[in-house]
Amino acid sequence: MPVLYPPGTIGIIGGGQLGRMMIYRSKKLGFRFAVLDSEDAPAKSLSDIFINGSLKDPDALEKLAGVSDIMTYEIEHINIDALGNLESRGYRMYPCASVLGIIQDKGFQKELFVKKGIPTSSYFTCDKPESFDFSANKFPLVQKTRRGGYDGRGVRVLKNKEDAPMNSPSIFEEMIDINKELAVMVARAQDGSVAAFPVTEMAFNPDHNICDTVIAPARIDEKTASCAHEIAISVVEALDGVGIFGVELFLDNHGNILVNEVAPRPHNSGHYTMEACVTCQFEQHIRSIAGLPLGDTSLIRPAVMLNILGQKQSRGKMLIEGFEKALNVPGLSLHLYGKIESRPYRKMGHFTVTSGTLNEAIEKSEYIRNLLKIGGENTEGDSK
Ligand code: ADP
């Protein structure tokens, strides 16, 4: 495939924070960016060409394709038939529509892992959970709807056979005794070369299941880290993917590493690379889809990233508390996504603290967590 040189135009389907950061960090290579999304999209103000439309609308996708040399996406819930159609007419897209087709369905992901001998939790699929007889199953089970879930939506733990499952085609996994949730960002270039970023540790907030904290590097031994790298790379190779991929892993209490799922795009667990690695995940993605050499993924300093979510009890025009104090902390890098409205648990921004030691970065991040708050101007009752 031909290399895309600057000032070629890269089309991004979706203009959320991932698209915004992709543009922000890759414009330095001289590319131009076209974005498809609605008018209030965070990436709009950074784009060279903006197309106002739905990510699912074939006509809007066609318009984006018409102004782009290559296309990519920052979200996986998009119209795969329309993408396949564009590909069949010669438009270039990375990762390609067939990769997205596997990833959009958790059942297909699992099938691929099993077929390729990639370690993952045991599971079964069921298209009509409401009429399935669970009496012969071992509990607890983790139910995941095959399609459409994200940030824990579409995941339910069934403790026993009295717990009602969600009525949607699903996979049911054995419950893993998780020691740590890990993630590895892996980029794969058009020539098949791969580069993995350091293994990170992710912590989730049980209130809303959104990733809360990412610690880089993960506090695991070298053998576990190299095993995590090897497995994560094997996932992206099994997909034959081109671009950056976020591979989510479980380290269980017996030292086993199991693949949970994979995202075909920059990932929340890789935001820290913007300050802590030689090349960041966003530039790495653009390098890989443009057919350029992959960059150096070395960690420069330990880092901790925290998401800044809209406060639970308010919504409306964004208000920020503790801004100056946070900006005074050495090692802090703050990213706000330009979203005007705050809503409960909306991802409004994130910050990364880099420091000489990981413990110092953790301490500073906790200090900033307690002082930096984003909410909306209208307070409301307990709205989850
Ligand atoms: P989503 O695609 O919505 O992010 P995940 O598959 O990542 O859903 O699951 C959300 C969370 O549920 C995981 O981060 C993990 O904490 C928990 N989880 C998922 N699968 C299992 C499992 N098999 N055993 C134990 N916990 C699990």
Sorting pLDDT into bands at 50, 70 and 90, what band is 291? very high
pLDDT of residue 381: 60
Going from the Cα of 31 to the center of ligand 1, the distance in angstroms, rounded, reads: 36
Going from the Cα of 106 to the center of ligand 1, the distance in angstroms, rounded, reads: 11
64-77 average pLDDT score: 97
Q: Which residues line ligand 1 (CB under 6 A)?
A: 121, 142, 144, 149-155, 173, 175-176, 178, 181, 204, 209, 248, 260-261
Going from the Cα of 142 to the center of ligand 1, the distance in angstroms, rounded, reads: 8
Write the pLDDT tens digit of every residue in 314-340: 999 999 999 999 999 999 999 999 999
**How far separated are the first and last CA of the chain, in Å rounded?**
48
44-79 b/e (C-beta count within 10 Å ≥ 16 → b): bebbeebbebebeeeebbbbbbeebbbbbbbbbebb
Going from the Cα of 184 to the center of ligand 1, the distance in angstroms, rounded, reads: 16
pLDDT of residue 382: 47
Going from the Cα of 147 to the center of ligand 1, the distance in angstroms, rounded, reads: 14
Residue to mutate (ligand 1; options 139, 202, 210, 260; most atoms within 8 A of CB)? 260
Residue nearest to atom 13 of ligand 1 (CA): 152
Q: How many CA atoms lie within 13 A of 112 on its CB side?
A: 23
Mean pLDDT of the chain: 96
Of 215-219, 233-237, 376-380, the range with the lowest mean pLDDT is 376-380
Residue to mutate (ligand 1; options 155, 176, 180, 204; most atoms within 8 A of CB)? 155
106-130 average pLDDT score: 97
What does the radius of gyration of the chain's CA atoms come to, in whole angstroms?
A: 21
Write the pLDDT tens digit of every residue in 166-185: 999 999 999 999 999 999 99
pLDDT of residue 247: 98
Going from the Cα of 139 to the center of ligand 1, the distance in angstroms, rounded, reads: 16
Atom number, ligand 1, closest to the C-alpha of residue 175: 24
pLDDT of residue 153: 85
Residue nearest to atom 2 of ligand 1 (CA): 150
Q: Which residue has the tokens 């993917």?
A: 241
Under 8 Å between Cβ of 268 and 211:
yes
pLDDT of residue 384: 43
